[in-house]
Amino acid sequence: MPRDAACDEVQGVLSELALGIADGAERAQALEHVSDCVECRHELERQSTAADELLMLVPGQEPPIGFELRVVQSIQPGPERRRQIGRANV
């Protein structure tokens, strides 16, 4: 099926469908369109695969409290150290 106005409308909903957050009439309309449109169905499959791969990157548990602060502190430069020039004992 060639790309048309319906494809343009569905493009905005495909990412929500891929993430599983589309709801209501928009979801039903998009699913009906995707069942008939090969191009949009392939795009939905592509976005669903990308969403699944991104979910695999999410850690299985939350980092401990204060983790983010410790990371930021560890990458910030410390106080500048001044070189102490000693006086020679004469």
**Weakest mean pLDDT among 3-12, 40-49, 65-74, 78-87:** 78-87
Q: Which residues contact 44 (CB under 8 A, 6 or more apart)?
A: 14, 17, 18, 34
Residue pair 37/1 in contact (Cβ under 8 Å)? The answer is yes
CA dihedral 38, 44, 49, 51 (to 10 degrees): 170
The confidence score (pLDDT) of residue 7 equals 92
CA angle 52, 57, 61 (to 5 degrees): 115
**Weakest mean pLDDT among 12-26, 36-50, 55-69, 75-89:** 75-89
What whole-number distance in Å separates Cα of residue 26 and Cα of residue 81? 61
The mean pLDDT value of the chain amounts to 86
Residue pair 31/17 in contact (Cβ under 8 Å)? The answer is yes
Positions of E strands within 1-83: none
